Structure formats: C-alpha cells, structure tokens
A and B are shown apart, each in its own frame.
Chain A
C-alpha cells in the first residue's frame, strides 16, 4: 500500500504517529534491581536484533513521525554498537535519550556518544546512600554512578537523575533531593515504583505506606520551593494510592512504541504479558504495518474494547480505563477497568495491598524480612 493512502486511512481512524519510540536494545544488565519492569522470563526471549535491524527500525519509525527516542534496556551500554545507533538516530533528527545505570559509561564512550549526537543521558540511582543503592541493585555501583554523574556534567549533557522510590528508600527522600542538588541535576525523576515485572514479584516488600508517600511528597514540595527553577522535579505518584487510574501510555497505540531486544513491537514496555495478543516483530513487518495495521496495536485503541464501568464512564476519554497490564495482573482480564479506579469492582484488591503495606509499616514484619527476588537476566 502506498504511504499516502495508509496515511489517509490512519488519519480517518484518528490514529496519530508514534511520537515516542523506546528501543530496548538488550535485556543484559549488570544490575539486579528488585523493582525492574523488564520481563521475569527474559531467558526465554529470542536473540537480540543486530545493528542493521535497529537502524531499519529507526528509519521506519522516523518516517512515520517518531521524534523522541529512548535507548534503554537492560543496560544499553552492554551493546558495543550503541555509538553507531546513536549516530544514525541523530542523523535522522531524533532527540536521543540514553537511559542508563551508568555502568560501562567510561570517558571514551561518553565522548564518542557526544560526538555521535546523543542529546541527553538519564542516570539512575537506587538511593542516596551507598548501602541501600548497592543492596537494591545487588551490586557495588554507588561510587561509580557518582563519578558518571560528574562526567555527564563535564561533557555538557543536561543532567537527569532518576530514582525509583519504594518502601525501602522513600524515607531517604531529603538525602535523595540533596544528592540531586549536589550532583547538579537539572531534572530529577522521583518515580514511585510501578508494579510490573520484577517489581510485581516484589510488590508486598516494596509498596510504601500512605504516610511514607505523603511525607515524601511534602519534602519534595518544600525542596521545590527552595530550589525554584534550577531543577525540574517530577514526582510520579504511586497509582495504588489514587482514586482514579493513570492515563497509561496516553492509551495503548496512541503515541508510544516500544521495540523489545528481540524485535517484538509493543504498545508499552510491559505489554508482552498481555494474553491473547500476537505481537509483531520488526524483522517480519514494517513499523508502518505494525503501528497502523496490526491487531496488537489496534486492540486497545479507542474505547470499543471497554467493559463497564469504563464503557459508559464520562472520564473514559481522560484516563482510557487506566493500565491494561495492571488490569490483567490484578484481575486476569486486560479489558477490565484498572483496579486502581475506585469505580472498579476489583478495587478491593488494590485496597488490600495498601492495607498490607500499612500493617508492615506499623510494626509488622520489617521490610527486609520479606524475601526479595533480584532481577536476573539468565532466569
């Protein structure tokens, strides 16, 4: 089919372009974070795309209008063709984001990536302390990350820190904020854990109490007032404590396109768990066909798939029924309302999880006694 007629048909159905492309270049990672959203069965997933296949993905998605590019993983620095991928992405006009643990980001590589046209590096920390950072990632990486942060500044990249928050580190919020200031961060993402993948396995050990979340939010707001415009802080609210679901991915198939290490195209990075969908592979279909024509991307577009209470809900155009993965994980049916919504008949499942977290925080079993499952890409 010619592009023009495909364009016209897509426009008539109200499908916009995949503005946001996330390439998960590899599931290999030196860290073993307990809250990782990657699949828990990584070993059973096929081999990684080669360089030329990634370059083809970049060209095809750019032609459709993709412009924000995330290079992620796993640890994307585990691939020695990262510089080549960045150079092609830059040439095509993407804004290129590298999402990294910092492990492997040596000075020669950071210089080569700058020369290749990398726009920005998002560096993750697991905590403000060496002890907890190294415990949570099951590595000794805290000092290395601090050195990498200095390199990022020296090479003139915008400094974006990402810290995933949960019960084991959320009370260190003041120190985390001070660390971000000390490292000269221009952006700080305080991302409360979302419960997918390894985080789902560890949910009952990671979910904080309501009081912990409130204190963290208050501390963040005080810090915001003091620091003003020098640092932009995104506090991603943990949706288990909300009354309405997040507009996950702005609706599946709306603006996000994820390509997994094996070339499987997903409407969100954890969608592979959804049953009854056959996800297309970029080695077998073009990005154009995948985005506009495939069942996997069309299934949850619009609101035709919705059940009650979403189907007749006046808010369905605002939150799109929440997250399909969360609906599936909690209720077994991805077409159900996200149980975070208090209108969902399954909302009690979320309430029960929060109550367990409250009991643990109020003198129940200390969090560290709940066994944690560390991410392992060989599993």
Chain B
C-alpha cells in the first residue's frame, strides 16, 4: 500500500495503545499480547498521528521541530507501512 494523501488524517489503529516507556526511553506500541518498540523517528511520527492533523501538517511540524527539510517522502513511507500493519488508520 502506498500513496497516503497529504490531506489524510492518520490516527492510531483500533486496539493499539501508544505510550512512552520511561525505563526504556522509547515509545512502544501495545496490542493484545504484542509490543513494538518504536525508534525515535517512528515515535515522533506516531505521536503526531492523532486523527486531527493532516499528513501535510505532521510533516511541517516534524520539519520545524527537527530543523530539517524534505522529510515528506520518508514520513509518507512510514505512515503507509504503519497503515499496512494496522498501527495507523486513515479514512479511505
């Protein structure tokens, strides 16, 4: 799956919980009998996918926060992967 629209508003997949783990200094994704440790950039993207912000706005925010440019392709690729794995949902 690819081609998440810039105006899509990704949100956490049903049945998943995203939280910060102090002991491991990392975000984790929790679901029935499963755990995914997110790396720093995955955590930064996932925490912004709250269903109210567009992909475009998320990219802007990340570029501002990390003083970077040209993140759109990487962020879109990650969101597409996360949708495929049902970590995130977008409306069709």
Q: Chain A: residues with CB nearer than 8 A to chain B?
A: 17, 19-20, 63-65, 67-68, 70, 93, 95, 97, 119-120, 122, 158, 160, 186-187, 229
Contact = CB atoms under 8 A, between A and B. Distances in A.
A229 B15 CA distance: 14
Contacts of A95: 17, 30-31, 35
Interface string B1-25: 0000000000000110101010110
A148 to B, nearest CB: 16
B92 interface: no
Nearest to B26: A65
Nearest to A96: B30
Nearest to B23: A65
Q: Which 9 A-B pairs have the closest CB atoms?
A: A65-B23, A95-B30, A158-B15, A120-B32, A160-B32, A158-B32, A68-B35, A65-B24, A187-B32
Interface in B37-92: 86
A119 B29 CA distance: 13
A123 to B, nearest CB: 11
Given A68-B35, A95-B17, A229-B86, A17 B24 contact: yes
A67 B32 contact: no
B63 to A, nearest CB: 31
A63 B21 CA distance: 10
Interface residues of B, number: 15
Nearest to A93: B19
A63 B23 contact: yes
A119 B18 CA distance: 13
A186 B24 CA distance: 29
Contacts of B19: 67, 93
A67 to B, nearest CB: 6
B33 A160 contact: yes
Which of B15, B21, B86 counts the most A-chain CB atoms under 10 A from its CB? B15
Contacts of B28: 67
A122 B15 CA distance: 13
A19 B21 CA distance: 11
Given A158-B15, A186-B15, A229-B86, A67 B33 contact: no
Given A97-B33, A160-B32, A67 B21 contact: yes
A104 to B, nearest CB: 20
B31 to A, nearest CB: 8
B32 A64 contact: no
B15 to A, nearest CB: 4
B35 A19 contact: yes
